[in-house]
Structure 1
Amino acid sequence: MSSRERETLPVVRAADLDELDPARRWLIEPLWIHGGVGTIGGLPKSCKSWMAMDVAVSVASGTPCLDTFPVCDPGGVLLYMAEDAAPLVKARLLGLCRHRGLDLYALPIDVITAPTLRLDLLTDQQRLAETVRRQAPRLLVLDPFVRLHQVNENQAGEVAAILGYLRALQRAYNVAIIIVHHARKNGSSTGGLSLRGSGDFFAWVDTALSLRRRQHTLILSVEHRAAAPPDPLTLALLGTEQDMHLGIVRAEELAPPASADLDAMILDALERAGPDGLERASLRAAVRARNERVGEALTRLAAAGHIVRRGDFWVRVVPLPTPDRHRNGNGNSSAVPA
């Protein structure tokens, strides 16, 4: 082979290109393209990491994402959570598993525990590529992007080099990649266009999930390069401290109950809890009301003598039985003296 022939690029006739496999179009239908790269974006404290972990548990277990969307090709997951301590990562994963009735120890979820990972350094790129090659995950989650480099996110060339590396990683090992990334705080754009830094981010993604707060809920928007997106979804962080998870909430669940209804719901929840009572956070999860309204209701109920506080727990007061009564000789009722 001549040196000139060795310099040519591989070429295939268009008709001989591989065709799309309908059975492998989705990783999670219709939230994430199979083998796609993309972002979960949003402002700080918009539950981006919760969303990433929900996707991770879904892919690893084959259970529906957000308790709704089917996983079409379950498999192993590799996580790198740069901002969260290992015990917190485990606690959140355990909570998600409790909610779904899963055993975390049986799931193929692996966590990279290196103290730092710099995707702008060749050595770390090589280490990550070798880790992906050995672990062969179906999904790689990197959270958040800002902790994975020291480049200027507004410089397209510097960002493009990192994104190009991740695209090459995806193609080499057929792994879907999720980057958790912040949105601009004062930007007027929405969805993938709101991602902080260079516009190369939105040009790079196959799928972009965007979270934004609306009062006490979250709006999840989905964008795909080559598929129709679902309608925006309304989410909320649900459950107790032991099984916290993101869930889809319906319109009828968003209407705040009247004060009397809220009081009755709290009393009912405390009655079911028995003598141990419930913490305020668990009560909020049970009645799905704002913290301020729950506080007002607890104050009303305590003042009326219906509940008492014992440490961090609220307990329903059991009413004393009414005195026995008997009929006197005139046929009238009278209390039996003590």
Structure 2
Amino acid sequence: MLLTVTARDLMSKTFPQQQFVIPDLLPVGLTILAGRPKTCKSFLALSLACGVAAGGIVLGKISVQQADVLFLSLEDGERRLQNRVRGMFGEDDVIPAGLHICTSPPKSSPLTGGTKESDLRDFLKSKPSVKLVVIDTLGKFRMDEQDAGHKQNDGGYAREVKSLSRLKAIADDHGVAILVVHHTRKQQAGDGDRFDNILGSTGIFATVDNAWILEKESSEPRGVLYTQSRDIEAMQLSMTISSGGVWSISDDSKLLQVSRERQEILDLLVESGSPMKCKELSLKLKKPEDSIRQTLCRMVNDGELSRVGRGLYAGPTGNSSHEVTSGDKAA
């Protein structure tokens, strides 16, 4: 039997505000961080983990509330992790006790028996103070095939959707952010959406709540972090990494201000000369409709756009001669 709700009843419901581990950047839910090898994406994940575990300032600019962190470092041993953490904190800093590290793994690991779903759930249940889980990397993290309900004839898309959906369920059930480090393709498309370069099937991007792409030349200390989300505005952040491996947002990066996506929307509206619908903008920008809809709502609230009819958006100057009909007014 289908359980339904009318649109009117839906609009009368009140939902809690979205929760963030890192305000306006990393919400509760499942996030994937992808990049080519040697882009220092593991250092970025560790920078975030150390920052949240210590509390205070993350990425040099964002104030965060202290919370415990579980860091599954499944490609690096304890010696390498020790060197990296020492480089991030320095000799005189106090290492946060709330940063729990599991390498690939001794039997004394808190995840007894490996990194299966039940172990992760048990750990989070035993330590409700943990609000961030980092998995480095997705390729090394293995759910139990039988527990995950996989079939031998499942294709890559089905396997990835099932596996990541279960990780997402853990994040939602325990109210934590899970950040999974992954790779992009070696042969990357020269045009189109950079998020299409995430290694694997499209099931990965379709399942996660948020996707990040880190782009950086291996010999350069500067990079760019691109973010795409179901619920928060897409961003492009200019980043720098210190000699100690600490990532920070560059001074020339305008965090949480007008994003490239907002500018692209404004440019399209000016170019069209008439109001456009969310679906039209989504198709032209080749971006998820849900993400564009969220951005449009925020732009209306910020006075950058106006609604001029049923589902129609125009620039702040009302870039058209569109006449609102009685049907539009009723909307």
TM range (shorter): 0.5 to 0.7
Q: Deviations over 1:58-101 (max 9, x none)?
A: 21122222111222x431100111100112112212222229x7
Per the alignment, do residues 9 and 92 of structure 1 end up closer, same or farther by CA in structure 2, a change over 3 Å counting?
Answer: farther
Q: Return the letter of the residue paired with 1:61.
A: A
Q: Deviations over 1:278-313 (max 9, x none)?
A: xxxxxxxxxxxxxxxxxxxxxxxxxxxxxxxxxxxx
1: CA distance between counterparts of 2:70 and 2:36? 24
Name the residue aligned to 1:84: 76
1: CA distance between counterparts of 2:2 and 2:122? 28
Matched, 1:29 2:51: no
2: CA distance between counterparts of 1:123 and 1:185? 27
Contact 1:74 1:138 in 2 (8 A): no
Per the alignment, do residues 113 and 125 of structure 1 end up closer, same or farther by CA in structure 2, a change over 3 Å counting?
Answer: same
Per the alignment, do residues 122 and 91 of structure 1 end up closer, same or farther by CA in structure 2, a change over 3 Å counting?
Answer: closer
CA drift at 1:169? 0.6
CA drift at 1:244? 3.4
For the residue of structure 2 that corresponds to 1:79, the secondary structure is: strand
1: CA distance between counterparts of 2:115 and 2:66? 30
Q: Deviations over 1:127-165 (max 9, x none)?
A: 221112112210010001111139899711111111111
Per the alignment, do residues 237 and 11 of structure 1 end up closer, same or farther by CA in structure 2, a change over 3 Å counting?
Answer: same
Matched, 1:19 2:15: yes
Aligned pair partner of 1:40 in 25, 28, 33: 33
Q: How does 1:1-338 map to 2 (within 5 A)?
A: 14=10, 17-21=13-17, 25-33=19-27, 35-71=28-64, 73-98=65-90, 102-104=93-95, 106-115=96-105, 124-136=116-128, 137-149=130-142, 155-188=156-189, 190-214=193-217, 216=220, 217-230=222-235, 232-239=236-243, 243-249=244-250
Per the alignment, do residues 197 and 16 of structure 1 end up closer, same or farther by CA in structure 2, a change over 3 Å counting?
Answer: same
Structure 2 unpaired stretches of 5+: 146-151, 253-331
Q: Return the letter of the residue paired with 1:32.
A: L
Structure whose CA Rg is larger: 1
1: CA distance between counterparts of 2:99 and 2:211? 23
Contact 1:154 1:198 in 2 (8 A): no
Contact 1:31 1:69 in 2 (8 A): no
TM-score (norm 2): 0.62
Name the residue aligned to 1:299: none
Identity of aligned residues (%): 23
1: CA distance between counterparts of 2:155 and 2:66? 35
Per the alignment, do residues 220 and 86 of structure 1 end up closer, same or farther by CA in structure 2, a change over 3 Å counting?
Answer: same
User: Over the residues paired in the alignment, what is the CA RMSD in angstroms?
Assistant: 3.3
2: CA distance between counterparts of 1:114 and 1:244? 22
Contact 2:105 2:114 in 1 (8 A): no
Aligned positions, number: 233
Per the alignment, do residues 238 and 169 of structure 1 end up closer, same or farther by CA in structure 2, a change over 3 Å counting?
Answer: same
Name the residue aligned to 1:270: none
Structure 1 unpaired stretches of 5+: 1-6, 252-338
Per the alignment, do residues 237 and 167 of structure 1 end up closer, same or farther by CA in structure 2, a change over 3 Å counting?
Answer: same
Per the alignment, do residues 192 and 29 of structure 1 end up closer, same or farther by CA in structure 2, a change over 3 Å counting?
Answer: farther
Per the alignment, do residues 74 and 212 of structure 1 end up closer, same or farther by CA in structure 2, a change over 3 Å counting?
Answer: same
2: CA distance between counterparts of 1:140 and 1:16? 34
Q: Return the letter of the residue paired with 2:105.
A: P
For the residue of structure 1 that corresponds to 2:163, the secondary structure is: helix
Contact 2:39 2:214 in 1 (8 A): yes
Q: Return the letter of the residue paired with 2:233.
A: A
CA drift at 1:111? 1.2
For the residue of structure 2 that corresponds to 1:115, the secondary structure is: coil
CA drift at 1:122? 11
